[in-house]
């Protein structure tokens, strides 16, 4: 049986529809008094909204893209041997979500032959949605308005750069280098999670870095930043979302930041 092929534009259209479905669930459960929070085996929290959102996305993909694989944070992966698979983080920033902090989002990405080709980050509590597809550009929508094309900054010197991060957890042996990098920058702020990287895509900040991340934390971020003219790699400089950490920059600063973080 021949597998049906789809264009990146068609896949992006579906990803945006998936984000619409996710927003309905997450918005309804955000700040709900009866929100159910449990602890996963890795000691991280999960809410009923996380599970309901991922399940809804999975159900739609089963119908719309039955031949594609899927890797999701809450219900596992069936992407082995698949040339195309979707990567879902139903709520990136669950700790924020459960405490009523508005910086959380649903992250949706499509990986094709190892490369991220579609990405959406939808943050209804911030009234923002970022999206991109290979060759089609990177955009942000505020409050349902007209899409605005993302474009990274042109800052070329570390001492002129603004850097964002989540916190100091996970840096381990690189903590001193990370602290030195922040001290070298013009400004540092702990924005955190997806938002740091989206601000790089918008050109509002120049560097976003996190030392420990899962595939579903970074797949959508990867293409949104790259299609905005920036670079996304691991902290060690490896391209793509498969290496357990995340570094987004405007491109001009990237090699300098990698060197500083790795003691070069």
- Considering the domain architecture, whether residues 130 and 19 belong to the same structural domain is answered as yes
- 83 in the same domain as 16: yes
Q: Both 175 and 232 in a single domain? A: yes
Domain co-membership, 162 together with 125: no
- Of the residues 98, 123, 149, the one at which a domain ends: 149
Q: Assess whether 99 and 166 both reside in one domain.
A: no
pLDDT above 70 covers a percentage of the chain that reads 98
pLDDT of res. 43: 66
E-only strand ranges, 60-206: 69-72, 76-77, 84-92, 105-112, 115-123, 128-133, 137-142, 148-149, 162-165, 187-189
Q: How many domains does the chain have?
A: 2
CATH number at residue 22: 3.30.540.10
Residue 247 lies in a domain: yes
Does the residue 134 lie in any domain?
Answer: yes
- What band does 81 get if pLDDT is binned at 50, 70 and 90? confident
202 alpha-carbon distance from chain centroid: 14
Token code pair at residue 3: 């597998």
Q: Are residues 61 and 184 in the same domain?
A: no
Per-residue confidence (pLDDT) for residue 46, from 0 to 100: 84
Same domain, 16 and 134: yes
Residue 137 in 3-state DSSP? strand
29 is a domain residue: yes
Q: Is 220 helix (H, G, I), strand (E, B) or coil?
A: helix
**Is the distance from CB of 91 to CB of 75 less than 8 angstroms?**
no
Please identify, among 98, 114, 149, the residue that sits at the C-terminal boundary of a domain.
149
Say whether both 136 and 175 belong to one domain. Answer: no
Classify residue 2 by its DSSP letter.
Answer: P
3-state DSSP assignment of residue 118: strand
CATH of the domain at 200: 3.40.190.80
Q: Are 180 and 257 contained in the same domain?
A: yes
pLDDT band for position 47 (50/70/90)?
A: confident
Judgement on whether residues 101 and 40 belong to the same structural domain of the protein:
yes
Could you tell me if residue 3 is inside a domain? Answer: no
1 within a domain of the structure (yes/no): no
pLDDT in tens, 109-142: 999 999 999 999 999 999 999 999 999 999 999 9
Which residues span the domain enclosing 208? 158-261
CB 254 within 8 A of CB 208: no
Tell whether 124 and 244 lie within a shared domain.
no
**Residue 105, in any domain of the structure:** yes
């Amino acid at each position: 049986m021949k597998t049906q092929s789809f264009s990146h534009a068609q896949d992006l259209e579906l990803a945006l529809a998936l984000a619409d479905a996710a927003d309905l669930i997450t918005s309804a459960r955000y700040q709900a008094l009866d929100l159910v929070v449990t602890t996963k085996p890795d000691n991280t929290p999960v809410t009923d909204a996380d599970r309901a959102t991922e399940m809804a996305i999975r159900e739609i993909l089963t119908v719309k893209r039955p031949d594609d694989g899927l890797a999701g944070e809450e219900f596992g992966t069936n992407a082995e041997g698949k040339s195309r698979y979707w990567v879902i983080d139903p709520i990136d920033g669950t700790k924020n979500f459960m405490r009523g902090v508005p910086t959380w989002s649903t992250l949706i990405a499509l990986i094709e032959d190892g490369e991220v080709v579609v990405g959406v980050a939808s943050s209804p509590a911030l009234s923002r949605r970022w999206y991109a597809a290979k060759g089609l550009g990177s955009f942000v929508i505020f409050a349902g308005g007209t899409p605005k094309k993302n474009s990274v900054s042109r800052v070329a010197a570390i001492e002129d750069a603004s850097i964002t991060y989540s916190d100091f957890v996970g840096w381990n042996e690189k903590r001193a280098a990370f602290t030195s990098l922040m001290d070298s920058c013009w400004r540092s702020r702990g924005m955190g999670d997806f938002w740091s990287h989206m601000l790089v895509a918008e050109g509002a900040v120049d560097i976003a870095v996190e030392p420990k991340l899962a595939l579903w934390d970074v797949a959508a971020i990867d293409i949104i930043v790259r299609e905005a003219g920036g670079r996304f790699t691991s902290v060690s400089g490896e391209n793509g979302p498969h290496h357990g950490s995340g570094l987004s920059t405007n491109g001009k600063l990237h090699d300098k930041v990698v060197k500083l973080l790795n003691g070069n």
